[in-house]
Structure 1
Amino acid sequence: MLIKMIPEIGHFALVIALLMAVVQATMPLAGAATRRPLWMAFARPMAAGQFLFVATAYACLTLSYLLDDFSVATVANNSNSMLPWYYKFSAVWGNHEGSVLLWILMLAGWGFAASRLSHNLPVDMIARVLGVMGMVSVGFLAFILVTSNPFERLLPSIPQDGADLNPLLQDFGLIIHPPMLYMGYVGFSVVFAFAIAALLGGRLDAAWTRWARPWTNIAWAFLTVGIALGSWWAYYELGWGGWWFWDPVENASLLPWLAGTALIHSLAVTEKRGSFKSWTVLLAITTFSLSLLGTFLVRSGVLTSVHAFANDPSRGLFILALLGATVGLSLLIFALRAPRVRHAVAFSWVSRDALLLINNILLVIMTVTVLLGTVYPLLLDALGLGKISVGPPYFNALFVPLTAMLCVFMGLGPNARWKLMSGRELLRRLALAGATALVIGSIVPLVYGGEWNLWVTLGLVIALWIVLSLVSDLLDKTRQAPSRLAGLKRLSLAHWGMVLGHLGLAVTIVGVTVVSHYNVERNVRMAPGDSVQVAGYTFTMTELRNRRGPNFLADTATIRVNRDGSARSFTMAPEKRLYLARGMPMTDVALRPGLFRDLYVAMGEDLGDGSWALRIQYKPFVRWLWLGALLMAAGGLLAVADRRYRLKRTREAPQSAPLSREVSA
Structure 2
Amino acid sequence: MIPEFGQLSLIIALLLATCLSVVPMAGSFNGRLVWMLSARSLSVGMFVFVALAFAILAYAFYTDDFSVAYVARQSNLVLPVQYKLSAVWGGHEGSLLLWVFILASWTLAVSVFSRRLPIDVLARVLSVMGMIAVGFLLFTIATSNPFERILPNIPSDGSDLNPLLQDPGLIIHPPMLYMGYVGFSVVFAFAIAALLSGRMDAAWARWSRPWTNAAWCFLSLGIALGSWWAYYELGWGGWWFWDPVENASLLPWLVGTALIHSLAMTEKRGVYKNWTLLLAIFSFSLSLLGTFLVRSGVITSVHAFASDPTRGVFILAFLGIVVGGSLTLFAVRAQVVKSISGFDFLSREAFLLANTILFFIAALFVLLGTVYPIISDALNLGKISVGEPWFNFFFVKLMAVVAALLGIGIMLNWKKTDYGKIRPWQTVPIIGALWLGSFIPGVIEGDYSIAAAISITLGSWVIFASLADLKRKIRHAPRFTAGLSKLSPSYYGMLIAHIGFAFSLMGASLNTIYSDQRDVRIAIGDSVFAAGYEYELLDVTRVKGANYFADVGEIIVRKHGKEVSRLRPEKRRYFSGGNVMTEADIDAGFTRDIYVALGEQLDNTDWAIRIHFKPVVRWIWLGAILMALGGGIAMADKRYRARQSVREQVTDADDSLEDAQGEGQPATAMTDGVASQ
Amino acid at match of 2:44: A
Query: Which of 572, 594, 606 is 2:601 aligned to?
Result: 606
Distance 1:135 1:250 in 2: 27
Q: CA deviation at 1:651?
A: 12
Amino acid at match of 1:618: F
Q: CA deviation at 1:450?
A: 5.4
Contact preservation (8 Å) 1:449, 1:518: no
The aligned counterpart of 2:289 is: 293
The secondary structure found in structure 2 opposite 1:241 is coil
Query: Which whole-Å deviations, capped at 9, do the CAs of 1:47-79 have from their partners, x for residues lacking one?
Result: 001000000000000011111111101111111
Contact preservation (8 Å) 1:241, 1:600: yes
Q: CA deviation at 1:425?
A: 4.0
The aligned counterpart of 2:642 is: 647
Query: Which whole-Å deviations, capped at 9, do the CAs of 1:146-184 have from their partners, x for residues lacking one?
Result: 000000001112111111100111111111000000000
Please state if 1:465 is matched with 2:470: no
The aligned counterpart of 2:206 is: 210
Distance 2:19 2:622 in 1: 44
Mapping 1:440-589, distance limit 5 Å: 440-449=436-445, 451-566=447-562, 568-589=563-584
Please state if 1:618 is matched with 2:613: yes
Please state if 1:418 is matched with 2:405: no
Give structure 1 stretches of 5+ with no counterpart.
653-665
Q: CA deviation at 1:394?
A: 0.3
The aligned counterpart of 1:30 is: 26
Please state if 1:20 is matched with 2:21: no
The aligned counterpart of 2:97 is: 101
Q: CA deviation at 1:424?
A: 4.0
Contact preservation (8 Å) 1:408, 1:462: yes
The aligned counterpart of 2:270 is: 274
Distance 1:268 1:597 in 2: 37
Deviates more, 1:431-440 or 1:406-415: 431-440
Amino acid at match of 2:609: L
Distance 2:242 2:272 in 1: 32
Bigger relative contact order, structure 1 or 2, given CA contacts below 8 A and separation 6+?
1
The aligned counterpart of 2:624 is: 629
The aligned counterpart of 1:597 is: 592
Deviates more, 1:125-134 or 1:377-386: 377-386
Query: Which of 182, 187, 200 is 1:191 aligned to?
Result: 187
Distance 2:438 2:405 in 1: 21
Amino acid at match of 2:592: R
Query: Which whole-Å deviations, capped at 9, do the CAs of 1:185-229 have from their partners, x for residues lacking one?
Result: 000101111111111122111111100000000100000000000
The secondary structure found in structure 2 opposite 1:562 is strand
Distance 2:483 2:291 in 1: 46
The secondary structure found in structure 2 opposite 1:482 is coil
Please state if 1:342 is matched with 2:335: no
Q: CA deviation at 1:562?
A: 2.4
Distance 2:605 2:561 in 1: 30
Deviates more, 1:166-175 or 1:11-20: 166-175
Contact preservation (8 Å) 2:369, 2:390: yes
The aligned counterpart of 2:397 is: 401
Mapping 1:348-427, distance limit 5 Å: 348-427=344-423
Query: Which whole-Å deviations, capped at 9, do the CAs of 1:571-627 have from their partners, x for residues lacking one?
Result: 211111111212211101111111111111101122123211000111111111111
> Percent identity over the alignment?
56
Distance 1:275 1:205 in 2: 10
Aligned residues: 647
Q: CA deviation at 1:548?
A: 1.5
TM-score, scaled to structure 2: 0.94
Distance 2:369 2:188 in 1: 25
The aligned counterpart of 1:130 is: 126
Distance 2:570 2:505 in 1: 32
The secondary structure found in structure 2 opposite 1:449 is coil
Contact preservation (8 Å) 2:198, 2:336: no
Please state if 1:8 is matched with 2:7: no
Deviates more, 1:534-543 or 1:595-604: 534-543
The secondary structure found in structure 2 opposite 1:550 is coil
Distance 2:338 2:197 in 1: 16
Deviates more, 1:159-168 or 1:557-566: 557-566
Q: CA deviation at 1:339?
A: 1.1
The secondary structure found in structure 2 opposite 1:160 is coil
The secondary structure found in structure 2 opposite 1:532 is strand
Distance 2:204 2:337 in 1: 14
Contact preservation (8 Å) 2:502, 2:623: yes
Q: CA deviation at 1:25?
A: 0.2
Contact preservation (8 Å) 1:28, 1:41: yes
Query: Which whole-Å deviations, capped at 9, do the CAs of 1:446-478 have from their partners, x for residues lacking one?
Result: 123354210100110010010111122112211
Contact preservation (8 Å) 2:217, 2:631: yes
The secondary structure found in structure 2 opposite 1:19 is helix
Distance 2:303 2:61 in 1: 21
The aligned counterpart of 1:663 is: none
Query: Which whole-Å deviations, capped at 9, do the CAs of 1:285-313 have from their partners, x for residues lacking one?
Result: 00000000000000000001010002102
Q: CA deviation at 1:429?
A: 3.4
Distance 2:94 2:605 in 1: 43
Distance 1:651 1:499, change over 3 A: closer
The secondary structure found in structure 1 opposite 2:484 is helix
The secondary structure found in structure 2 opposite 1:543 is strand
Distance 1:425 1:313 in 2: 62
Distance 1:491 1:449 in 2: 43
Amino acid at match of 1:62: A
Distance 2:282 2:533 in 1: 49
The aligned counterpart of 1:79 is: 75
TM-score, scaled to structure 1: 0.95
